[in-house]
Amino acid sequence: MPELPEVETVRRGLAPHLTGRRIVRVAVREPRLRWPVPTHLAERLCGRRVVALDRRGKYLIVTLDSDDRLLVHLGMSGRLRVLPADTPPRAHDHIDWWLDDGRLVRFHDPRRFGAMLLWPAGESMPALLRHLGPEPFAPEFDGAYLFQQSRGRTAPVKSFVMDGRIVVGAGNIYATEALFSAGIRPSRSAGRLTRADCTRLAAAIRAVLADAVALGGTTLRDFAGADGASGYFQQELSVYGRAGAPCRRCGTTIRRLVIAQRSSFYCPRCQR
């Protein structure tokens, strides 16, 4: 599933092509996504100019000159591509927006777990965004914040940092890598983290996510950016997916365990 670095990669790839452009036509071939595509989507988008393209967690937010906004979620297999306007649709090409410069933005989603929802002008923040925690690059996300949030929690620290109400963007791969960088075993109880642990962990989450964004995200199966290119962060993975291989830092064999039904990987020597 695309996580924060992959979605940010898509945002950065789309923004130069989309910002300032007018949407002249919309086609919805398949409205049955994770949530139904609004029946009046084309009516609300056509003729509007794109003012900004932002991201909140794993949601892209397209702001129009009408002050309407559009929430886009890539789900598990969704892609947004910029293509020539006459590119014929293929299977699973569900939604197209034609732009006034002769190109189109195409939403492709084989599994249909993605979403495209309207946030009309004047309406309060949608529930999908309302309870999200801080962005990992926001000033308020630091060791002191993590320490305060972790008090009294018995859940494994990996589950704790993957909770989007605590911080957005620390998905399975990135939480695994950040915990290795911080020297913290993923199964340790969050409530047992010290202030020093939390300081290292907050810094590690920011650093791992920043590196992943710089490398275009991680491509393990379906992900590609707006230009169709794969991400390269998987070449930098220290522990994720490396069970049985030697730790790149100390040579100890990497182990795998399951936490909350997700595979976790760690070095038993480097992580305590």
pLDDT tens digits, one per residue of 100-143: 999 999 999 999 999 999 999 999 999 999 999 999 999 999 99
Look at the domain 143-266 and name its fold: Helicase, Ruva Protein; domain 3 (1.10.8)
Is the pTM here over 0.75, yes or no?
yes
Return the pLDDT at 147. 98
Q: What CA–CA distance (Å, rounded) separates 168 from 138?
A: 11
Indicate if the pLDDT at residue 231 is higher than 60. no
- Structural domain spans, the chain: 4-129, 143-266
User: For the residues of 52-118, what is the DSSP string, one character each?
Assistant: EEEEETTEEEEEETTS-EEEEE-TTT-EEEEEETTPPP-TTEEEEEEETTSEEEEEE-TT---EEEE
Whether residue 232 has pLDDT greater than 60: no
User: What's the CA gap between 223 and 145, in Å, rounded?
Assistant: 32
Q: Each residue of 35-65: pLDDT tens digit?
A: 999 999 999 999 999 999 999 999 999 999 9
Query: Same CATH fold, 143-266 and 4-129?
Result: no
Query: Strands 79-84 and 262-266: what pairing?
Result: unpaired
Running DSSP on this structure, what letter comes out for residue 29?
S
Look at the block and give the residue holding tokens 């704790």: 160
Of 208, 188, 152, residue with least CA distance to 266: 188
Query: How many angstroms separate the CA atoms of 25 and 2, rounded?
Result: 27
The yes/no answer on whether domain 4-129 falls in CATH 3.20.190.10 is yes
Q: Is 219 helix (H, G, I), strand (E, B) or coil?
A: coil
DSSP state at residue 191: G
Q: So which residues are the catalytic ones?
A: 2-3, 58, 262
Q: Which two tokens stand for residue 60?
A: 């892209």
Contact 190, 167 (CB under 8 A): no
**Do 223 and 8 form a contact (C-beta atoms < 8 A)?**
no
Q: Which runs of consecutive H residues, i.e. helices, occur in the chain?
A: 4-18, 41-45, 127-130, 143-150, 157-162, 172-182, 195-214
Give the pLDDT band (50/70/90) at residue 2.
Answer: confident
Residue 92 counted as an annotated binding residue: yes
> Nearest 5°: phi and psi at 216?
80, 20
Mean pLDDT for 166-175 is 94
Tokens matching residue 199: 């300081």
Q: Is the pLDDT of residue 230 over 60?
A: no
> What Å distances lie between residue 223 and 2, 102, 182, 218, 269, CA to CA?
7, 25, 27, 8, 33
